[in-house]
């Protein structure tokens, strides 16, 4: 470490050394394509499709990709394309960021939250099937879509989820916003379901400053998504509308950043995996801290079933571990929110809620912040969020338990080997002997 201690952030955007992002953005200006579509968008879409279609064994898929203004917009349009309407139900992983489930409510539909399995922290296939059967019994209808989420990049059990979805004829919208470039059986996440969601927000695997995309199975789906993303215009010499559309297309300026970022995507993925490996090695002998690892199963061809991009590295801390400063946590109402730089946060009266990380986990966050290391709690499950208090949930206690003991560690291109050593040393220092 240098004299001046830098802050080690959770995950930061990182541009190519060659400055390709600025080159393509400049091209947009030079050619006067400063609009929501244009050559950068089409090329970025082709790059994304090429990336998504290349399986590890050399075989190729033929998915299409449509670029949009955000990952949240991608979830929204995928739901519309799956026919989700007022009053319908959609099964969605509870353990996730709110963007997986909020678009369901935009449509007046109802999320049915599905808890996680221990190994991957993602949608539990058994609970999913139980929920599907139970919803049919209780409402007379099957849920209209299934949304599994690649939490922190970790693949869900694609095999079992797809088998269940096919059995009941329900389309799958894969939320691979955090799982860009993660693979299952050598195939990129987002290519298994009817749709795959990608996000290029500032802190994801690659960024366009803000943006997203949908991986689609057919030209028909891709065209339908593009139509809805551009205000659903019918073919007349004037504006004629037969359906409600949205202004969700990606701008040609943002797509220029995306084109540049595609040149570093493979390097980013490799670096995230490297950082995870180093944490695994250095935390191996720290008792009662458990790094979240991917299942080590291989398929019949000797290919890893689970191949995470390790967007963020996550861990859990046993409840009986004492952390410095633990007695003083949750005493004061704070003024900011997690991820606080963006937008406005609503002030609150209480420093606590009825479901929050354990005191030692919060103490570790505070301790690490004092060491200029950003640690964050894991996502709070949606079925524990006040805004979803009335939603139906099929639970097994796993996501709630992980929320209490879990935390995220910095990863990504800016995190050096020295940083990982420093972070692990800080964690050791935080533990009261
Ligand atoms: C980031 C994210 C999204 C959506 O992303 P935006 O591009 O920020 O709209 C969706 N789902 C999950 C799980 C995410 O982490």
pLDDT digits (tens, 9 = 90+) for 98-131: 999 999 999 999 999 999 999 999 999 999 999 9
Domain ranges of the chain: 3-264, 266-430
Tokens 């400055």 label which residue? 19
Averaged confidence pLDDT in the chain:
95
For residue 59, count other CB atoms closer than 10 A to its CB: 10
| Cβ < 6 A, ligand 1 pocket | 70-72, 96-97, 99-100, 149, 175, 177-178, 199, 201, 212
Q: Which of the four pLDDT bands, split at 50, 70 and 90, describes residue 342? A: low
pLDDT tens-digit map of 249-272:
999 999 999 999 999 999 999 999
The answer on pLDDT for 338 being more than 80 is no
CB neighbour list of residue 285: distance below 8 Å, 6 or more residues apart: none
Could you give the 3-state DSSP secondary structure of residue 31? coil
pLDDT of residue 367: 97
Domain covering 266-430, topology: 3.90.1150
For residue 393, which of 119, 101, 140 has the smallest C-alpha distance?
Answer: 101
Mean pLDDT of 157-182: 98
| Size of the chain in residues | 433
- Closest ligand 1 atom to Cα of 151: 13
130 is annotated as an active-site residue: no
Distances (CA, A) of 422 to 16, 112, 418: 26, 42, 6
With residues binned 3-state (H G I as helix, E B as strand, rest as coil), the percentages for the chain, rounded to 5, are 35, 15, 50
d(CA 236, CA 263): 40
Whole-structure pTM value: 0.96
Ligand 1 probe mutation, 173, 195, 204, 207, most atoms within 8 A of CB: 204
Could you give the 3-state DSSP secondary structure of residue 241? coil
The region of weakest confidence among 71-85, 279-293, 326-340 is 326-340
Right CATH for 3-264 from 3.40.640.10, 3.40.50.300, 3.90.550.10, 3.30.70.100: 3.40.640.10
pLDDT of residue 3: 59
Tokens of 132: 């599907």
pLDDT of residue 341: 60
Q: Annotate 378-404 with b (16+ C-beta within 10 A) or e (fewer).
A: bbbbbbbbeebeebbbbbbebbbebbb
- Closest ligand 1 atom to Cα of 210: 7
Please give the residue that has the higher pLDDT: either 11 or 257: 257
Classify residue 325 by its DSSP letter: T
């Amino acid at each position: 470490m240098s004299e001046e201690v830098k802050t080690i952030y959770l995950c930061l955007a990182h541009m190519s050394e060659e400055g390709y992002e600025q080159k393509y953005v400049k091209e947009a200006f030079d050619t006067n394509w400063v609009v929501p579509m244009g050559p950068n968008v089409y090329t970025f879409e082709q790059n994304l499709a090429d990336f998504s279609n290349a399986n590890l064994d050399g075989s190729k898929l033929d998915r299409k990709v449509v670029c949009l203004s955000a990952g949240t917009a991608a979830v929204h349009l995928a739901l519309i394309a799956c026919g989700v309407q007022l009053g319908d139900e959609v099964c969605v992983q509870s353990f996730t960021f709110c963007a997986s489930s909020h678009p369901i409510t935009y449509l007046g539909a109802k999320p049915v939250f599905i808890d996680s399995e221990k190994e991957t922290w993602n949608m539990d296939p058994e609970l999913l099937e139980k929920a599907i059967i139970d919803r049919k019994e209780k409402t007379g209808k099957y849920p209209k879509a299934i949304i599994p989420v690649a939490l922190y990049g970790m693949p869900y059990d694609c095999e079992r989820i797809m088998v269940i979805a096919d059995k009941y004829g329900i389309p799958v919208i894969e939320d691979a916003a955090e799982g860009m470039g993660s693979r299952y059986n050598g195939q990129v996440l987002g290519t298994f379901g009817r749709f795959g969601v990608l996000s290029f927000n500032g802190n994801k695997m690659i960024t366009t400053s803000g943006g997203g995309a949908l991986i689609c199975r057919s030209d028909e789906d891709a065209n339908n998504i593009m139509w809805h993303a551009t205000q659903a215009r019918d073919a007349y010499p004037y504006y004629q509308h037969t359906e409600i559309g949205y202004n969700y297309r990606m701008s040609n300026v943002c797509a220029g950043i995306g084109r540049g970022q595609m040149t570093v995507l493979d390097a980013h993925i490799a670096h995230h995996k490297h950082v995870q490996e180093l944490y695994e090695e250095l935390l191996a002998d720290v008792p009662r801290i458990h790094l979240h690892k991917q299942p080590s199963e291989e398929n019949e061809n000797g290919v890893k079933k689970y191949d995470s991009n390790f967007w963020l590295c996550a861990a859990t801390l046993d409840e009986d571990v004492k952390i410095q400063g633990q007695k003083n946590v949750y005493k004061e109402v704070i003024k900011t929110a997690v991820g606080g730089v963006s937008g406005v946060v609503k002030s609150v009266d209480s420093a606590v809620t009825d479901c929050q990380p354990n005191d030692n986990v919060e103490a570790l966050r505070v301790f690490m912040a004092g060491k200029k290391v950003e640690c964050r709690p894991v996502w709070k499950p949606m079925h524990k969020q006040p805004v979803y208090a009335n939603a139906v949930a099929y639970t097994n206690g796993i996501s709630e338990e992980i929320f209490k003991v879990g935390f995220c560690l910095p990863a990504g291109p800016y995190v050096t080997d020295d940083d990982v050593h420093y972070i692990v040393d800080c964690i050791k220092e935080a533990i009261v002997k």
